[in-house]
Amino acid sequence: MSVFIHKTAEVSKDAKVGAGTKIWNHAQVREKATIGKDCIIGKSSYIDMNVVIGNNVKIQNFVSVYDGVILENNVFVGPSVTFTNDLYPRANSTSREWSKTLVKEGASIAAGAIIVCENTLGKHCMVGAGSVVTKDIPDYGIAYGNPAKLKGFVCECGHKLSEIVNKNNLNILYRCTSCSKKIKIPVEDFNKLIC
């Protein structure tokens, strides 16, 4: 399957773009960026140099992904999400050492969220619309607010987990009431909940 690049998109010849990926109007993909297979880069989105994007990633319109960000496979990034890469920004800074951010497989970030650098968003976690993420979010965590706080856990299908079927000193075992999948949450992560 071939790559689709809209005629108004600007994609560096030094970027790597996987088969089946679609890059829409006015998007910009900088040199040394890597985009996997079957991705969607939405209208007017910016993919900075050295960004790494896995396979089957959906980036909606007006998203800014800066140097130092890694998006693993199957990540969803909603419209107008911004990733930062500098904890101490100054106009006259000459630093080229950008802070890192990792978004793990299957994570979803809703519209308008800001992801402050030096954080990890866990596998299949979910970030609420308009949230400002200033801390790590564990696997399957759902976090929202400003600053974003862990408010619960979600299944891989996206539904909130509420039915606990087993617990011990190490893990809490949830069963999804939507798809019946069982998800194991470490007690250490469960204890971070702010209800």
67-120, pLDDT tens digit by residue? 999 999 999 999 999 999 999 888 887 777 899 999 999 999 999 999 999 999
Whether 72 maps to a domain, the answer reads yes
Q: What b/e string do you get for 150-181 counting C-beta neighbours within 10 Å, with b at 16 or more?
A: bbbbbbeeeeebeeeeeeeeebbebbbeeeee
Whether 140 maps to a domain, the answer reads yes
| Alpha carbon distance 98, 36 (integer Å) | 22
Using a pLDDT cut of 90, give the percent of the chain over it.
93
Q: What b/e string do you get for 30-61 counting C-beta neighbours within 10 Å, with b at 16 or more?
A: beebbbbbbbbbbbbbbbbebbbbbbbbbbbb
pLDDT band at 180 (very low <50, low <70, confident <90, very high): very high
Return the bridge partners of 53, or none. Answer: 35, 71
Q: Domain holding 108: CATH number?
A: 2.160.10.10
Question: Which pLDDT belongs to residue 194?
Answer: 74
pLDDT digits (tens, 9 = 90+) for 41-76: 999 999 999 999 999 999 999 999 999 999 999 999
Whether 185 maps to a domain, the answer reads no
Whether 193 maps to a domain, the answer reads no
pLDDT digits (tens, 9 = 90+) for 5-43: 999 999 999 999 999 999 999 999 999 999 999 999 999
Whether 178 maps to a domain, the answer reads no
Whether 183 maps to a domain, the answer reads no
In this prediction the pTM is 0.96
Strand order of the β-sheet with 149-153 is: 4-5, 22-23, 40-41, 58-59, 76-77, 108-109, 126-127, 141-144, 149-153
| Token couple for 29 | 């993909």
Question: Which pLDDT belongs to residue 136?
Answer: 98
pLDDT band at 195 (very low <50, low <70, confident <90, very high): low
Whether 45 maps to a domain, the answer reads yes
Whether 173 maps to a domain, the answer reads no
Range of the domain at 134: 4-88+99-160
| Alpha carbon distance 33, 27 (integer Å) | 13
**Domain total in the chain:** 1
Are 73 and 55 spatial neighbours (Cβ–Cβ below 8 Å)?
A: yes
